[in-house]
Each structure stands twice: as structure tokens, then as C-alpha cells.
Structure 1
Amino acid sequence: MSSNVISFLAAFIFIIITFLLIYIIYKLLKNKKKTAMRLQELETRFKPALDLDAEVLSLEKEIEEKRNAISDIQTSYATKKVIYDRLIKEVAIFDEKLAFAEMGVYEPHFDYSDSEDYKAAIIAVREKQKIMVSDKTAVLCPTEWSLGGSKAQGQTMTNRNIRLTLRAFNSECDASIANARWNNVNAMEKRILNAHNQIDKLNASNTTYISDGYLKLKLQELYLTHEYRENIKLEREEKTEASRLAREEQKLIRDMERAEEEEARYLRLLDKAKKEAEKSVGPKLDAYNEQIKMLESDFAEAHARFERAQAMAERTRSGYVYIISNIGSFGDDVIKIGLTRRLDPMDRVREFGDASVPFVFDTHAVIYSDDAPALERALHGEFERTRVNAQNYRKEFFRASLDDVEKAVKRLAPEASFFKDVEAQDYRETLARRHQTLVNTENTTMEPMLAFI
């Protein structure tokens, strides 16, 4: 074959191959376009599902972040709660209101009979403290320190630390003891213990600490000082009560003397009337006889009063047990059971209804007894569990119904009279007046509205 033919064939084959390639490329591009359109159609059709999956993933990621944040907050809260609780306890030591809310009942540590014994014990405890300070056993430092290679300078530094520790601890203890009251003495005890612990922690690096013996003496001083103050208050109240009883006894003696003078006066008048009657006749005699009868009656009453006053003045255990109530001042079912040795026991009841309470007391029983203190104790024992003031036994108020009190009186003093009526006149009249004022106010308010209608 000639070269021309070969060239023609080669060119023809090249052209065929080129067309084939172009056709294949065209088909590929066409299929790719269809595929892209198909993919776009599928993406459009399934876009909500795809968006939802993305939203779920986003929400799951956000939930995980929130969980981590909550976990961090819980961890932080637990740590801060521990710190908060510790600080609250420390603040309560210095805040009287918080101390009162968290106070416990103080149990006495000593049983001295009077304030002088407490005073002597306080002085003895303070002397022991001074001895411990002098003997260098109040604050201890077992480590022998050196400063700049010098043991002498190290000992000087240790002595300064001990003095500083003593000054800080003593100041805290003195403040606690000075501020101790009935409602915060337990808090002051915690304050001293807290000061001891905190000072020892601050001194841990130089191995200086307050001895347990010195701490014990400081706590004893706190207890003794508090009980000494309470004992003085109790003695003051006892003196007040003794003075009241002495005044009542003096009043009994004066009542007896007045009754004796009154008896003597009626006796003189009676003797004079009898002598005049012996000289009289007719209507005048009848008048004197009538006068004599009246004087004899008055003399008998005066003599009875004298004998009663004399008996009460001579026999200090005799007297009257009274049972009274005051619903206007204290509410229902609050009863006072007390004792008086006055010739007229109602004088004592009237004293209770003075300006210190808004309303007067109602009297339910006044019982004379040859052993009035025993009867009073027995009645108190019947209602001991409902005593209003469980701390001061001279406040003789009890929560009890009149029915229960009447049963107790009938059992312990069968002959005594008991009146369950509660008059409470001032109180009820006050309620009625307030009710009427309220009604008048409502009527006054309604009148303009009715007129307008």
C-alpha cells in the first residue's frame, strides 16, 4: 500500500476515535447533569429529614453542654455549701439573733449554793490560769528553733509567738465571757473552742499550740461567770419575794392590831350602852336594847376578825390559795394558782389587776388552809406539765381548763367553793364596743352609696 493510503486510513481512524471520544464525553456530561438533577431532587425531597437530623445533632450537642454546665454548677455548689455552712456556724457565734435561734438549753456545770461560792471559784480559776502562764504551760512549742544559725534568737522568736498567741486567745475568751448571756452562753462556748482551733491552725507551721489544760480553765471561767450572774439574778428575785412576804406578814400584824382596836371599841360602846339601858325605862329602854343587839353583833364580827387575824399572824403556814384567770389578757384556759396570807385575800387579787395588765382578773376560788403552801404545791403538781413558764417557778400560770381545775380542787379541798363563771366584764364590754364601732363605720360607709342608688 502506498503511503497516501496509509495516511488516509490513519486520519480516518483518528477522526473516528475523536468522534467516539466526543460522543462518550457528551454522554458522560449528560448523565452527570441528570445525576446532579436527580441528586438535587432527592435533596429537595429529603431536606426536612436532613434538617431534622441536623437539629437533633445540634440539640444533643447543646444538651451535653448543659449537662456539663450543670455538673460544674453542682460541684461548685457542693464546695461553696460546705464553706457557707462553716461560715454560718462562725457567724452565729457573733450574731445574738442567730445564736438565740440555735441556742440549746444550758446545763449547769457547778452546784454552788450561793453567789459568794461562785465568786471564790472564779478567782481560783483565774489564779490557776496565771500559774500556767507563769510556768509556760499555757502555750507550748516543743520545737527548738534556730534563727540565722542562732538558737538564742530562735528562742526569742518562739517566746514572741507564745505571747502573741496568749494575747489573741485571752482577748477572744475575755470578749466571750463578757458577752455571755442566758440566750448565747452555748454560742460563746463554741466561740472559745473555735478561737482555740483557728489559732492552733495558724501556728501549725511553727508548732505552737494552746494546751488543753489552759483551754479547760477558760471554759470553766465562762461557765462559772454565767452561773454566777444567773445566781445573782435568782437571789435578787428571792429577796424581792422575801420582801413581799415580809410586807404581807407586817400587814397581817397591822390587821390584827386594827381588829383588836376595833373589838375594844365595840366592847366599850357595848358596855356604855348597857349602863345607859340600866338607867332607862319605856321607849328609851327599847331603843337601848335594840342598840345593844346591834353592838353585840358588830362586836362578835370584830372579835371573829381579830381571832382570824391573830391566827394568821401567829401561824405563818396558814393563808389563802387563790385561783384566778384573765381571758382578756392571757386568753382561754390560762389559770393562775397562787398563795396569800393577807387577811383579805382579794387585796392580792386586785393588785394583779392593776395597770400592768389591760383587764381585771376573774376569781374562781379562794381557799383558806391551815397549811396553804402544801395545798398550793399540790395544786401546782396537778398541772406541772402545763406550766406556762418552766424556767421561773414564781410565775404561777398554767394551761388548764376550768373543769380540770375544779376536779383538782374538789379532790384536794372538798369543802372549798369553786366558780366556773368567767365574767370578764371589761373585756366583753370592750369587744361589744369595738363591734358596735365597726357596725357604725360600715353603716356610715353604706349611706352615701344607698343615696346614690
Structure 2
Amino acid sequence: MEKEMLQNDIEELKNIKQSLQMDIIELDDKILFQNFGVYQPQYNFATLDEYKEKLDDIRNQQKEMIKSHTAAICNTAWKVQGSEKAGKKMIAENIQQALRNFNIECDLCISKVKFSNYDNSKERIFRAFELQNKLNATNDIHIVDEYYKLKIKELDLAYEYQKKKQEEKEELRRKREELREAEKVAREIEEKRKELEKEQEHYQNYLKKINEQIEVEQSEERKQYLISKKEELDNNVHDVHLALEDLDYREANHRAGYVYIISNIGAFGENIFKIGMTRRLEPEERIAELSGASVPFKFDIHAMIFSDDAPKLEAALHNHFADKKVNLVNGRKEFFNVTLEEIKKVVRDNHDKTVDFVNVPDAEQYRESLMIRKNLNAN
């Protein structure tokens, strides 16, 4: 019986040890993140409204503490010239001044908080808390820990609120960009359809005339020429028909498109690739847009891969290289620090082994700029 009890105690101690080890690992991770300046979100709400509601709640808690005289307290019943009433008035004025000074410093920190100054803002609030308590120690007045902690919670929420606000702005910008892109694709398809239908009508009219001429033509030599011309036109009509069918497919299938692999060594250096997708009929136009005034040199195309499910292929590449992202904070940025050989392998594993890649980018203007600079330096 005693042996069983000892065995149970041993098992319980093992469980406690395992639990404590997990706590230590979790704490070590938090300390590691803090040492590297990585902010650990305290709330992670899904929407701005949730942050606003929580902010209002915390501010209301602060107001209630001030109204109920529990934000700062005095443990001594002071008298002024023997008057308790005057003593209470003095205490109330000193408490009001202490809270006012503390709140002003907190509001300044909270209103300007961002990632680069979060730790400093937190430290400033703590120093303001300590300073007011030190200045009022003679009167036995101090701001309570609970009120200080509410200010830290407000700081955390304000920072996360600003971050969420920026995320929602970027999401809205992304959706607008997607809408503009979809509108461009729709216009492109419509223009191409009109062009093909006009071409089809031209061939059919010409074919009709050829058929009429064949029926009445007496010269065998001329007739053979017209028949060969008719075969050529039949092929043209067939090609246009296939092109229209492809257009119908692209219009109906919103996931069909091109995944592009591009680089800009003049702007970003070697082994930095942008992996994105477009539904444009002429995908090079999208690359030309990306090569606008915001970058010093145009992008070079290493691969342009058509896929019936372009988002799936793009996601496979993004997920595979998630730890190689240049920007590890903003997931919408599509630049990766990888080699072209790594990209080739993932594309061939997930899509098609026959995709052609351009190994060496032209980077024409960049290389010309290097030559010009070299000559200028030589002179």
C-alpha cells in the first residue's frame, strides 16, 4: 500500500516537473523575443471595433477608479492647522495633481506609440508612475498599481489598434488593387473578343467570296489556287475559333492565370525574387507596370507559368519559401531571398517539369549604368 502511494507521488511529481519545464520553455521564448525587440501581441482582436470597445472599457475602468477615489490614495488623515476638512482638501488637491501629471505623461506616450518606441514608452510610463509616487511620498500619497497596470494595458491596446488600423488600410489597398486588376482583365478580354470577332467576320466574308469564285471558276489552275486559299482561310477561322474558346475559358475560370518569377538585381541585388500572379491575357503588361517609377530599373522575367489554378501554385511557392521572405512582418510582400534553383525545384514538384526558366537576367539598363559609372570613375 505504502509502495503504491510512493509510486503515485512519483508520477505526480513527474507531471509537475513536465508542466514546469513547459512553463520554462514558454518563458524562455518570451524572453528571447523581448531580447530581440519582438512585440508580443496581448489581445489579437480580429477587428478595429473590438480594439475600440476594449480601449473604451479600460478607459472607463480608469474613470471609475478616479471617481471612486481609488486611483490614488492617502493612508494618513492629515490636518492643516488642526482642521481635518482643510487636511482632506489638501490631500484631494495633491492626489488630483499627481494623477494629472501622471495622466498627461501617459497620454503623450500612448498617443505616439509605435513599434520603434513601444519599449521606451512603457519605460516612460513606469518612470512617471515612480516619480509621482516619490514626489508625494512625504504626504503618504501614492498612485496604486492597479491604475498603473490599466495605463500599460491602454498602451498595449493603443499600439495594437494602430497596427490593426494599418493592416486594414493595407488590406483595403490590396482589395482595391485586386478590383482594378480584375477590371483590367475584363477590359482586356472584351477588347480581345472584339478583335477576334472582327477577324472571324473578315475571314468568313472572304471565305464566302472564295467559295462563290470556286463554283464559277472555269480555269483549273485558278481553281486550285482558290482551293488552297480556302484551306488557308479555313485554318485561320479554326485558329480564331480556338482563340475565342480560350477566351471564354479564361473569362469563366477566374483561377486561370500566370505565375511569374521576376527579379531586379539593380534595385534589390542577387537572389531576391518576386513571386506573384496575374490573370492578364498579356502578363508582360503587369510586369511593365511593376517596373514603374517606384524602382530604378525594370524587372526581368525568369519564368512565366500558365496554370489552370494560378493562386494554388502561387500559394505553394509562397508557403514553401515562407521563412525566406524578405519582409517577415507583412505577408502581402512577395519578395523572397532564394536561389533560382530552389524555385525551379518547387515549381517542377508542384506544377510542370517542362517550364522554361531564364537563368541570367538581362538587367540591361543596370549593366549599362555600371559601365557608364565605371567609365566616369576612370576619367
Structure 2: distance between partners of 1:295 and 1:233: 58
- Structure 2 counterpart of 1:208: 141
- Structure 1 counterpart of 2:357: 418
Structure 2: distance between partners of 1:173 and 1:300: 74
Task: Identify which of 258, 273, 291 aligns with 1:335.
Answer: 273
- Structure 2 counterpart of 1:355: 293
CA-to-partner distance for each residue in 1:124-177, whole Å, 9 max, x for gaps?
221221111111111111211112122111111110111001110110111001
Deviation at 1:287, TM superposition (A): 6.6
CA-to-partner distance for each residue in 1:36-83, whole Å, 9 max, x for gaps?
xxxxxxxxxxxxxxxxxxxxxxxxxxxxxxxxxxxxxxxxxxxxxxxx
- Structure 1 counterpart of 2:98: 165
- Structure 1 counterpart of 2:14: none
TM-score by length of 2: 0.83
SS of the residue 1:320 aligns to: strand
- Structure 1 counterpart of 2:12: none
Structure 2: distance between partners of 1:248 and 1:303: 26
Identical-residue share of aligned pairs (%): 37
**Does the 8 A contact of 2:203 with 2:236 survive in 1?**
no
**Does the 8 A contact of 1:266 with 1:298 survive in 2?**
no
- Structure 2 counterpart of 1:260: 193
- Structure 1 counterpart of 2:374: 435
SS of the residue 1:148 aligns to: coil
Deviation at 1:385, TM superposition (A): 2.1
Deviation at 1:212, TM superposition (A): 1.8
Which stretch of the first structure deviates more once superposed, 157-166 or 280-289? 280-289
User: Structure 1 residues 130, 303: CA separation in 2 closer, same or farther (over 3 Å shift)?
Assistant: farther
Amino acid at match of 2:356: S
Figure out how many residues of one structure are paired with residues of the other and give that number.
339
Note the aligned Cα RMSD (angstroms).
2.2
User: Structure 1 residues 121, 304: CA separation in 2 closer, same or farther (over 3 Å shift)?
Assistant: farther
Deviation at 1:337, TM superposition (A): 0.8
Equivalent residues in 2 for 1:302-313 (5 A)?
Answer: 302-313=240-251
Deviation at 1:408, TM superposition (A): 2.2
CA-to-partner distance for each residue in 1:200-258, whole Å, 9 max, x for gaps?
11111111111222112212221112211111111111111111111222222222222
CA-to-partner distance for each residue in 1:318-359, whole Å, 9 max, x for gaps?
221110111111111111111112222111111121121111
Structure 1: distance between partners of 2:160 and 2:248: 42
User: Structure 1 residues 136, 291: CA separation in 2 closer, same or farther (over 3 Å shift)?
Assistant: farther
Structure 1: distance between partners of 2:36 and 2:342: 35
Structure 1: distance between partners of 2:376 and 2:242: 51
Which stretch of the first structure deviates more once superposed, 211-220 or 235-244? 211-220
Unaligned runs of 5+ in 2: 1-34
**Does the 8 A contact of 2:288 with 2:298 survive in 1?**
yes
Equivalent residues in 2 for 1:323-402 (5 A)?
Answer: 323-402=261-340
Deviation at 1:296, TM superposition (A): 4.3
Structure 1: distance between partners of 2:320 and 2:78: 70
**Does the 8 A contact of 2:211 with 2:230 survive in 1?**
no
User: Structure 1 residues 278, 315: CA separation in 2 closer, same or farther (over 3 Å shift)?
Assistant: closer
**Does the 8 A contact of 2:193 with 2:247 survive in 1?**
no
SS of the residue 2:116 aligns to: coil
**Does the 8 A contact of 1:262 with 1:302 survive in 2?**
no
**Does the 8 A contact of 1:103 with 1:183 survive in 2?**
no
- Structure 2 counterpart of 1:51: none
User: Structure 1 residues 307, 217: CA separation in 2 closer, same or farther (over 3 Å shift)?
Assistant: farther
Structure 1: distance between partners of 2:187 and 2:67: 63
CA-to-partner distance for each residue in 1:364-402, whole Å, 9 max, x for gaps?
111122222221122123322221111111211111122
Unaligned runs of 5+ in 1: 1-101, 442-453
Larger radius of gyration: 1
**Does the 8 A contact of 1:319 with 1:372 survive in 2?**
yes
User: Structure 1 residues 311, 190: CA separation in 2 closer, same or farther (over 3 Å shift)?
Assistant: farther
Structure 2: distance between partners of 1:313 and 1:271: 25
Structure 2: distance between partners of 1:142 and 1:297: 99
Deviation at 1:299, TM superposition (A): 4.0
Deviation at 1:310, TM superposition (A): 3.0
Which one scores higher on RCO, CA 8 angstroms, separation ≥ 6? 2
**Does the 8 A contact of 2:110 with 2:121 survive in 1?**
yes
Structure 2: distance between partners of 1:293 and 1:227: 69
Deviation at 1:311, TM superposition (A): 2.7
Which stretch of the first structure deviates more once superposed, 253-262 or 196-205? 253-262
**Does the 8 A contact of 2:204 with 2:237 survive in 1?**
no
